Amino acid sequence: GERQKRIEAKLDKILELLEEKVTKNCEKMSEHIDFIDNVYDNVKNPLGFICNKVGSMIGSSENYALADKNEVD
């Protein structure tokens, strides 16, 4: 009856939201994560080198090394 039609309409709306909004946002987040991974891969070694050089200039004995992303996970 009428109640079943309302429930089906609500389910249709939920499915529409999931398919359009959630999927789209997940794809955008995945693209963002890939971008951040790329940036991290490109700057980790030069940044560690710079930190170590600056540290040696100011007399710090700490050695900085940025971990590979797989080591952090």
Confidence of residue 7 (pLDDT cuts 50, 70, 90): very high
Those residues with Cβ within 8 angstroms of residue 46's Cβ, 6 or more apart along the chain or in another chain: none
Would you state the structure tokens that stand for residue 47, as one six-digit string? 């940044």
Q: What is the mean pLDDT of the chain?
A: 85
Asked whether residue 20 carries a pLDDT value surpassing 70, the answer given is yes
How confident is the model at residue 5, as a pLDDT? Answer: 96
Q: For 65, phi and psi rounded to 5 degrees?
A: -145, 130
Q: How many residues does the chain have?
A: 73
